[in-house]
Every structure is written in structure tokens, then in C-alpha cells.
């Protein structure tokens, strides 16, 4: 490798993007194309960066497997920033295996962190945790240590483990300062902000208040019976009953939880569960059936008793009932949760992250765009969606992932 390429690589590692470009801007050999691609990606010109990295990958010969694998990893990182979640995971995994086999441990770890970040975005926390457990962060340089700690914090936040999340973010902040790269420090600062803004609302005994993540964790670990309107489950610290696929039962459970310790009139339950404006005998008959189903579903945690006017929730044991709701409740909140990270998403990436059909996501985006809550740019496959401004609330709980089971 010649001196200009070496100097450009050192400049990139130090965060001096313009210094790196000055050394390789007029060169078209494979190493120069790769370095230019990485520099352009860090400057935000992702389209040009992708083209340069593809050209570099083709320019490297068959004997330069490590260099080609590095180009693939760089392309994968750009795809992650662009929320192109359809980037072939097998290609990235093969590149990581090549780097590991040839002794390039640092870039192999970087590739693994990219795979973990993608798994986080699509809610596959168990796989992400298994991959993270195989990485030893001790030998990592500061810049890569930041990425590792951010992934660690991301998993901890999604698992509602705020103390490990804070510890990981503190380590990430220290590593970012040692690396001296402003973009990394800003990323750590943005992640740390998630721990200080409202993550949910607590509704109990006729009142409500916002909760931060550590407070949500405390509620989940308490003796209270929690009607979780974020994950559509009813739970306590030991038992969880999922009503995800039974929306009518959950609507009844939430109405009863919000009114506890008072009862809820039958007309109000019919309105909440069936959206009926006027209750007739058929509605009342259906309500009796659904209340019976809910009583059987909640038997390990609570009972439902009939009153003169309606029904009341009676938790087993002497404990309170609380409802945990989203900080902002509106239609298509899951889509807004993804877009609230400030990145531009395609509808296909949103579909993959939310586990919904692409047509469903497109309809939601059109509705939100009409209301002025999201905006798009580009056309056809290049169309991307983002929010005009990022709201001040934590979105981690809105994304697809299982809550802790106690």
C-alpha cells in the first residue's frame, strides 16, 4: 500500500474526512475508491458512497478477499443508515467470516455490530444478544468500542434494564471522547437522551402521569397488576398473559384497569370494545360472552365481578391495578416510533421492522402525510419517509420486541 493510501486511511480513522479526500480524490484504483466511498458516506453523500464502494469491490481482484469483504461491510453500514433493512444478511455474514478467517478481527467485530444493529431494528433481541455475547470488547479501539457499547445499551433499553443501559452509555461516552470523533459523541448523546424523556404514561385511580424508562422498569417489577397497553398484555412481576391477538378482550381489560377500583358501566364497555353508539340486546349478549372469555384468560391474575351497573376488575391479592400506555396515543404510532429516530425509511424497511404488509404501511404513511406528521422525498423505490421533527419521547417501547417476563 503506497504512502498516500496509508495517510488517507489514518486521516479517516482520526475523523479528518477532508484530509483523507485530498489524498485520494483524483485516484481511481481500488483502495482509493474504497477510501473515497467511506469518506463520502461519513459526509452524508450515501448515493455516491455506495457507487464508489461497489466500484472498489469490483476493482479488487479475486486474491484480495479481505479488501472486498471490507467494502461489503462498508456498504452494509450505509444500508443500515439508510434503513435499507433488505440488505442481504448472508452477504454481510459471509464478509464477516472472511475477515475473521484472515485475522482481521476488528473489522469482523464491526461487521458483527452491524448485524446486531439490524436485528435490533427488526425486534429480534434474542439473536442480537447471542451475537453480542460472542464479542470481547476489551481489545477494541475507542471508535469500535463506542459501537459495541451502543448496541449493548440498545438491547438493555429494549429489555427494560436501565442500570446496564446507563453503564453501557457511560462507557460509550468515555470511548467517544478517547476517539475524538464528534459524530460518535453526538450519537452517544442522542442515545443517552432516551433515558431522560417520557417513555410511557401511567394511568391509575383516575389520574395519569408520564414515566421515564427506569420508572417503567420499577412498575414492571412491582406487585401491581399491570394492564400493558404498549404490548397488549396483562401481567405482574411473575406472570404475563398476552392478549395481542384478542383486541376485544384487551379493550375490555384496559377499560376495567383504567376505572379500577371502580366498576365500568356495561354501556361504556360496549362502546370501548365494540365501538357501538347504542347498546341493544345483541350487544349486551356479546358483552357477556366476551367478559366470560376475559375472566377465563385472566384467571391466574384477577377475577371479574358483575355489579349493578357493569363489571369490576378484582386482582388476586391485595395490590393495585395500573395501566401502562404509550406517551402519545394516536393512529399508526408504531410507524411514527420508527420514524422518530430521525432517519429516512423506505416503506419496505418499515414493513420489515414492524412485521406488517408493505401495503398496510403505505396506507399508514399516506394517512400520516395527509395529517402533516410525516414527509417523503424521492420517487418509486428511492422514496424515503421521515418526520419533520423528532418528538420528545422514548420510542424503544413502541417497537416490536417482547417485554421482560419477570
Tens digit of each residue's pLDDT (9 = 90 or more) over 11-65: 887 778 888 888 888 888 888 888 888 888 888 888 888 889 999 988 988 788 9
Contact 71, 57 (CB under 8 A): yes
259 has a pLDDT exceeding 50 = yes
pLDDT tens digit string along 324-356? Answer: 998 877 778 778 778 777 778 888 888 888 888
**What is the band of 396 on the pLDDT scale with cuts at 50, 70, 90?**
very low
At 7 the three-state DSSP class reads helix
313-331 b/e with 16+ CB inside 10 Å = b? bebeeeeebbbbbbbeeee
Phi, psi values for residue 224, rounded to 5°: -65, 155
> What local confidence, expressed as pLDDT, does residue 170 receive?
94
More confident residue, 406 or 277: 277
Percent of the chain with pLDDT over 70: 94
CA distance 206 to 87: 48
* pLDDT for the residue numbered 41: 85
**95 confidence band (pLDDT: 50, 70, 90):** very high
Asked if 38 and 65 count as a contact pair (C-beta separation under 8 A), the reply is: no
DSSP result, 348-405:
HHHHHHHT--HHHHHHHHHHHHHTTS-EEES-GGG-EEE-SS--SS--GGGSS-PPP-
Q: What's the pLDDT score for residue 397?
A: 42
Burial 166-195 (b: 16+ CB within 10 A, else e): bebbebbbebbeebebeebbebbeebbebb
d(CA 403, CA 401): 7
Share of the chain above pLDDT 90, in %: 33
**Total residues belonging to the chain:** 406
pLDDT at 175: 92
The model carries a pTM of 0.77
Q: Which of 81-85, 147-151, 172-176, 202-206 has the lowest mean pLDDT?
A: 81-85
> Which band of pLDDT confidence, cut at 50, 70 and 90, is reported for residue 277?
low
Amino acid at each position: 500500500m503506497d504512502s498516500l493510501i496509508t495517510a488517507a486511511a489514518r486521516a479517516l480513522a482520526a475523523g479528518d474526512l477532508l484530509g483523507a479526500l485530498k489524498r485520494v480524490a483524483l485516484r481511481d484504483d481500488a483502495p482509493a475508491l474504497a477510501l473515497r466511498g467511506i469518506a463520502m458516506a461519513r459526509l452524508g453523500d450515501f448515493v455516491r458512497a455506495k457507487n464508489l464502494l461497489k466500484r472498489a469491490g469490483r476493482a479488487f481482484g479475486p486474491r484480495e478477499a479481505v479488501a472486498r469483504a471490507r467494502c461489503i461491510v462498508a456498504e452494509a453500514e450505509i444500508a443500515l443508515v439508510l434503513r435499507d433493512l433488505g440488505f442481504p444478511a448472508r452477504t454481510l455474514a459471509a464478509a464477516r467470516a472472511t475477515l475473521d478467517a484472515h485475522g482481521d478481527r476488528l473489522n469482523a467485530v464491526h461487521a458483527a455490530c452491524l448485524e446486531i444493529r439490524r436485528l435490533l431494528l427488526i425486534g429480534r433481541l434474542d439473536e442480537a444478544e447471542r451475537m453480542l455475547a460472542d464479542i470481547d470488547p476489551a481489545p477494541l479501539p475507542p471508535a469500535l468500542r463506542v459501537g459495541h457499547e451502543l448496541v449493548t445499551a440498545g438491547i438493555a433499553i429494549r429489555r427494560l434494564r436501565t442500570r446496564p443501559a446507563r453503564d453501557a452509555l457511560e462507557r460509550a461516552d468515555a470511548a467517544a471522547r478517547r476517539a475524538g470523533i464528534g459524530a460518535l459523541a453526538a450519537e452517544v448523546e442522542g442515545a443517552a437522551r432516551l433515558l431522560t424523556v417520557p417513555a410511557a404514561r401511567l394511568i391509575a385511580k383516575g389520574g395519569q402521569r408520564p414515566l421515564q424508562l427506569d420508572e417503567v422498569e420499577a412498575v414492571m417489577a412491582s406487585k401491581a397488576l399491570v394492564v400493558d397497553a404498549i404490548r397488549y398484555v396483562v401481567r405482574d412481576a411473575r406472570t404475563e398473559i398476552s392478549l395481542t391477538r384478542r383486541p376485544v378482550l384487551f379493550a375490555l381489560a384496559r377499560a376495567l384497569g383504567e376505572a379500577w377500583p371502580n366498576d365500568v358501566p356495561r354501556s361504556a364497555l360496549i362502546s370501548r370494545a365494540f365501538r357501538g353508539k347504542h347498546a341493544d340486546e345483541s350487544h349486551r349478549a356479546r358483552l357477556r360472552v366476551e367478559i366470560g372469555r376475559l375472566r377465563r384468560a385472566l384467571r391466574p391474575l384477577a377475577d371479574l365481578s358483575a355489579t349493578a351497573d357493569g363489571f369490576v376488575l378484582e386482582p388476586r391479592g391485595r395490590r393495585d391495578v395500573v395501566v401502562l400506555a404509550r406517551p402519545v396515543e394516536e393512529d399508526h404510532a408504531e410507524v411514527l416510533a420508527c420514524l422518530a429516530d430521525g432517519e429516512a425509511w423506505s416503506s419496505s424497511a418499515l414493513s420489515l421492522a414492524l412485521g406488517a404488509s408493505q401495503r398496510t404501511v403505505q396506507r399508514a404513511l399516506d394517512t400520516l402525510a395527509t395529517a402533516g406528521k410525516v414527509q417523503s422525498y424521492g420517487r418509486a423505490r428511492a422514496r424515503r419517509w421521515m418526520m419533520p421533527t423528532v418528538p420528545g419521547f422514548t420510542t424503544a417501547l413502541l417497537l416490536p420486541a417482547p417485554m421482560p417476563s419477570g
